[in-house]
């Protein structure tokens, strides 16, 4: 069986007008939105947004890895990084405690598979580890989103997931874990009911899947 080839339209950065439409719709739905030039600006902004010593969990994300944000949070000692703590725990006997740590940090940082111009965030996951925090269990959430992830509507967002993101994630998972990924869990955030909780850093450049 041949793996589908990611389609170019889902890899191209959206123009400024579409970024502005998505930002306006997200803002109307209760999210805090900042449009930034690039990943370097997002890396700086994340450091400004998260207080030193906060407990922080990073969702699996090529955007975080490529930007250096994952390393900033999990390796430099500035924060109480949840991921290294979880990896040091016994998954056979402490799994429930690991899930509590991942679900309820002070801040969860990650990305999404798509942002719609109608103001929704779409996230897919094989394990679901980041979804409780994104959905509301974490006190704050920050998403860094490349311009190529902006799509017109939810239907197109789901197409982007299946036709573009999944083939790339399958390739990554095979190299990292020796097995393909899967769209086991899907989260759609249509609004943020708690003002100030959810921040979207929308970039003018493409990064990640």
Domains within the chain, CATH numbers bracketed = 8-203 (3.40.50.10420)
Q: In this structure, which long-range contacts are made by residues 170-173, counting pairs with CB atoms below 8 Å and at least 24 apart in sequence? A: 170/3, 171/3, 172/62, 173/126
State residue 172's pLDDT score: 87
Q: What is each CA distance from 67 to 18, 20, 44, 111, 170, in whole angstroms?
A: 23, 22, 10, 12, 21
Number of neighbours of residue 77 by Cβ within 10 angstroms: 8
Instruction: For 102-147, write each residue's pLDDT tens digit.
Output: 999 999 999 999 999 999 999 999 999 999 999 999 999 999 999 9
CB 89 within 8 A of CB 96: no
Q: Look at residue 4 and tell me whether its pLDDT is greater than 60.
A: no
pLDDT of residue 10: 95
Q: Computed over its alpha carbons, how large is the radius of gyration of the chain?
A: 16
More confident residue, 67 or 181: 67
131 three-state secondary structure: helix
Structure tokens at 150: 């902006």
Name which of 3, 16, 1, 24 is nearest 168 in CA terms.
3
Q: Please give the average per-residue pLDDT across 142-167, as a whole number.
A: 97
**Confidence (pLDDT) at 1:** 37
Which percentage of the chain shows pLDDT scores above 70? 96
Tokens of 58: 């990073």
pLDDT given for residue 65 in this prediction: 96
pLDDT given at position 5: 47
pLDDT band for position 177 (cuts 50, 70, 90): confident
Residues 33-67 as b or e (16 or more Cβ within 10 Å = b)? bebbeebebbbebbeebbeeebbbbbbbbbbbeeb
Helix/strand/coil for 51: coil
Q: Give pLDDT, residue 9.
A: 79
Grouping H, G, I as helix, E, B as strand and the rest as coil, residue 49 is helix
The pTM (predicted TM-score) of the whole model is 0.94
pLDDT tens digits for range 66-114: 999 999 999 989 999 999 999 999 989 999 999 999 999 999 999 999 9
Exposure string over 145-157, b if 16+ CB within 10 A, otherwise e: bbbbbbbeeeebb
115 three-state secondary structure: strand
């Amino acid at each position: 069986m041949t793996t589908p080839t990611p389609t170019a339209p889902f890899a191209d950065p959206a123009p400024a007008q579409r970024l502005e439409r998505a930002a306006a719709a997200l803002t109307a739905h209760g999210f805090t939105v900042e449009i930034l030039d690039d990943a370097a600006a997002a890396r700086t902004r994340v450091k400004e947004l998260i207080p030193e010593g906060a407990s922080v969990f990073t969702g699996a994300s090529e955007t975080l890895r490529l930007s250096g944000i994952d390393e900033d949070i999990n390796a430099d000692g500035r924060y109480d990084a949840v991921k290294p703590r979880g990896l040091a725990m016994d998954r056979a006997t402490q799994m429930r405690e690991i899930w509590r740590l991942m679900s309820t940090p002070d801040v969860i940082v990650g990305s999404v598979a798509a942002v719609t111009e109608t103001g929704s965030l779409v996230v897919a996951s094989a394990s679901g580890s980041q979804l409780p925090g994104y959905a509301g269990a974490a006190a704050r959430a920050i998403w860094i989103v490349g311009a190529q992830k902006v799509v017109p509507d939810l239907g197109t967002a789901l197409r982007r997931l299946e036709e573009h993101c999944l083939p790339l994630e399958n390739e990554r998972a095979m190299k990292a874990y020796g097995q393909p990924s899967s769209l086991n869990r899907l989260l759609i955030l249509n609004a943020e009911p708690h003002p100030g909780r959810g921040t979207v850093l929308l970039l003018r450049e493409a990064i990640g899947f």
